[in-house]
Amino acid sequence: MLIDCPACKKKISDKANTCPHCGFAVGADDADAILEREKRKRYDQHQSLQTQSFVAVLVFITGFGLLYWGAPEVGGTQHSIGMLMLFLGFLWYVVNRARIAFIKAKKFKF
Ligand SMILES: [Zn+2]
């Protein structure tokens, strides 16, 4: 029977201890354990990215608040920090959304 190598995804025999393509030690860990670990890693990564997205939104909102709270002088410290947070929060959020979409796009095939 042919299975996918957990490392390089090429077809290998389930009897092989090491992958002939990339040398991955298949026998050292069974495929289910590897798959399970990969799934958990992906889940953790996804959770972490969602937390980061949330923080990014908070940064963005704080930046927005700084721009308007107390009507700060344009070019002053508060206004500059507000602009910076607005920009960084937005950028961070977009990057996180892109990474989440990327993780979802390469879901595991069974
Ligand atoms: Zn391989």
Distance 92 CA to ligand 1 centre (A): 35
Distance 25 CA to ligand 1 centre (A): 9
Strand (E) or helix (H) holding 11 = strand 11-13
Q: Give CA–CA dist 4/69, Å, rounded.
A: 57
Q: How many residues does the chain have?
A: 110
Residue 18 is given by DSSP the state: B
Residue 17 is given by DSSP the state: S
pLDDT in tens, 79-97: 999 999 999 999 999 999 9
Distance 57 CA to ligand 1 centre (A): 40
pTM over 0.75: no
Q: Give CA–CA dist 102/30, Å, rounded.
A: 27
pLDDT in tens, 47-81: 999 999 999 999 999 999 999 888 888 889 999 99
Give the pLDDT confidence score for residue 65 in this predicted structure: 94
How far from 54 is each of 29, 64, 83, CA to CA, in Å?
A: 36, 15, 19
